[in-house]
Amino acid sequence: MGARATSPPPWRRHCLCRALHFLVLLLWGTSEANKEQAMLPPRGWNSYDSFSWIVDENAYLQNAQIMTEKLLPHGYQYAVIDFLWYRKYVDGAYTDSYGFDNIDEWGRPFPDLQRFPSSRVDRGFSQIASKVHGMGLKFGIHLMKGISVQAVNADTPILDIKTGKPYLEDGRQWTARDIGLSHRTCAWMTHGFMSVNTNIGAGRAFLRSLYRQYADWGVDFVKVDCIFGTDYSPEEIITISELLQEIDRPIILSISPGTAVTPALAENISDHVNMYRITGDDWDNWKDVSSHFGVSSSFATAKKIGATGLRGRSWPDLDMLPFGWLTDPSVNQGPHRKCNLTLDEQKAQMALWSMTKSPLMYGGDLRNLDDSTLNIITNSGLLKINHYSRNNMEFHYVHSERTSNGEHSGHFRSPYPVRVTKNDGIFVSLTACSDDAAKGWYMFPQDGKPDHICRNYEILNDKNVSFCLGKTKRFLASDVLTMDTKEHQSKFHISVTNTDDTCLDASAGRRQTASEIRLPMFSACRWHAKQMWELNANGNLVSSYSRLCATVESRDEGGTSGGRAWIATGSEGEIYLAFFNLDSMSRKMTVQISDLGKVLGRNLLEKNPCSYTEVWSGKNFGPVKEEISAVVHSHGSMVFEIIC
């Protein structure tokens, strides 16, 4: 009689199932880790524009559920909790308050348990992340750079994730005070966070424990703030990027500044991230929207759109879409008002964000999403351009005139670097020190008077015209953060007025909107890295805070008025042409087809007839002739799809 087949005992079946489950997870994790990420500009929803910092678990999950139903089918997948989720929502707490944050025994923030009650399970976001993943979405959080001032003052130990014990090196235990750079507190949240010294093992160990914890929570997207722009922290950006690559699951890295950014500043950073903000905060006013035209053009010219990034590609980020039901910046209040932009202005913003392939992060409260707003942010033509267009650039060969008086606007070539101060129409700006425009500063000594730091910026009547700043004596105060005495020797303050009480700041003391150019600025002197400068042998005037270098330029007001145009090509040969009217009156805008063909390198109309359709209205204008011309409303846009 043959042997009878028997099933394995329950304990063996259990072990076999566990082994197979582990193998599946291992293979899945490996494939996920190797998967290219952000190959298209990410889309999602962020809580900041509607809740400032006071969003709670219930409101967040309600928005996530609506996002699943209404926005996920259109590619919006990242649901992001913005800043200060670890801050207690009590009297006295605000953006730069001190002592209200939840930090664990290792100096790491954990969610406010009153606002996020499910976090009581593990003092983390794993419960919320699981629910979000169950909705088909990806979970994101906002972070500040470095380590909290609270943790440094408490001198918390640093977790070594390899041992689960305090970090030891060189025979001693390292703590938060060893790694926190107290002279590099966040310029607009000085009581909140400071940079970490990533040149030492303890600094990297802290950041490793931080980001490994976020991965364990199920985080898919991190937005790191106060780390770019004039708060530039390249070592920390690169370290975070390297640490994320150690993790066996993909996490999108988005970085954010408090101010504007130049292409030169992004040159060595874009490879290490997936999204990087290139302006201050965009809010619902036309001045903020219109300020994006120049800066987005400069990044397109620098070929930064869709360049190599962390495990995939990187995208210049024009900030969120502040439409629908909103709050106000940095307030302790949830959504309470309608968007201040007109429908034409919202369409123009959506069109620019799409033509520049910016990530699309909606900011309004989805529980009050109206049909007109939904139609704007889910317009299929614009979303196709945002994801699949190529060769995106500003098109300078556009003629426009006011329909009322025939005033011509011309075309504009206006980059928007970070401007520090003005002197007879001249600004000091900050850029990467590798930028040629940052060189040429020199010391100009004066007998009996304070020295000057000068730079030639133009030649007038065969003579160099110089821009000078006063070099002031070192100023110390007992109530401010100080640096090591050895570092004082080469540092100095600078001012326009040659006084000892007003010094030049290298970074803004508060979050800036996209249209603001007044900051960084002069403020009361203190010996903080924001106000320290040095002149090196290469002729660079270097900020001790960000290690960015100063340059000089004339103010250009021409970039935020008149008519602008952008072009792109589609994956199937179509051409996109967008008209934007930045003026307060209607304009007739015209592009010659021959100019369009020259820029794109095509002989349009020569072999095949072309027709064109306007994307917003869906109107078919029929055959293309010698030009495309249209009247565009004030602060409005028209986007044409040309098929030949």
Q: Which whole number is the average pLDDT over 495-516?
A: 74
Q: Is 179 helix (H, G, I), strand (E, B) or coil?
A: helix
Please determine, looking at this structure, whether the domain spanning 398-404+559-643 carries the CATH number 3.30.300.30.
Answer: no
pLDDT of residue 478: 37
Specify the DSSP class assigned to residue 419: E
Domain ranges of the chain: 42-388, 398-404+559-643, 426-477+487-554
pLDDT at 591: 96
For the stretch 51-110, pLDDT in tens is: 999 999 999 999 999 999 999 999 999 999 999 999 999 999 999 999 999 999 999 999
Contact 274, 309 (CB under 8 A): yes
pLDDT range class, residue 14, cuts 50, 70, 90: very low
Q: How confident is the model over 320-343, as a mean pLDDT?
A: 96
- Give the single-character DSSP code of 4: P
Q: What is the pLDDT of residues 252-309, one digit of tens each?
A: 999 998 677 889 989 989 999 999 999 999 999 999 999 999 999 999 999 999 999 9
User: What pLDDT, on the 0 to 100 scale, is given for residue 479?
Assistant: 36
Alpha helical stretches, state H, 274-431? 286-290, 292-301, 343-355, 371-377, 380-388
**DSSP character string of 342-378:** -HHHHHHHHHHHHHTT--EEE-S-GGG--HHHHHHHT
Q: Whole-model pTM?
A: 0.87
pLDDT in tens, 508-545: 777 878 877 544 467 777 777 888 889 999 999 999 88
> In whole angstroms, what is the distance from residue 128 CA to residue 161 CA?
24
The greatest distance separating any two alpha carbons of the chain, rounded to the nearest whole angstrom, comes to 115
Query: Residue 20 corresponds to which tokens in the numbers above?
Result: 């197979």
pLDDT band at 425 (very low <50, low <70, confident <90, very high): low
**Matching fold, domains 398-404+559-643 and 426-477+487-554:** no
DSSP string, 536-576: -TTS-EEETTT--EEEEEE---GGGSSEEEEEEE-TTS-EE
Taking 50 as the threshold, does the pLDDT of residue 12 lie above it? no
CATH of domain 426-477+487-554: 2.80.10
pLDDT digits (tens, 9 = 90+) for 349-406: 999 999 999 999 999 999 999 999 999 999 999 999 999 999 999 999 999 999 865 4
Q: Is the peptide bond before 109 cis (omega within 30 degrees of 0)?
A: no
More confident residue, 551 or 523: 551
Bigger pLDDT: 183 vs 579: 579
Torsion sign across C-alpha atoms 460, 461, 462, 467:
negative
Query: For position 423, what pLDDT does the model report?
Result: 53
CATH code that applies to domain 42-388: 3.20.20.70
Above 60 in pLDDT, residue 18?
no
Q: What is the mean pLDDT of the chain?
A: 86
Task: Supply the pLDDT for residue 230.
Answer: 86
- Checking phi first, is residue 41 left (phi over 0); if not, alpha (psi -120 to 50) or beta? beta
* Interval 604-628 mean pLDDT: 89
Contact predicate 435/444, CB 8 Å: no
Q: In which band, very low, low, confident or very high, does the pLDDT at 558 lie, cut at 50, 70 and 90?
A: very low
End-to-end CA distance of the chain: 79
What pLDDT does 474 receive?
57
Please list, in sequence order, all residues whose beta carbon lies within 8 angstroms of the beta carbon of residue 426, skipping any fewer than 6 positions away: 457, 467, 552, 553, 554, 555
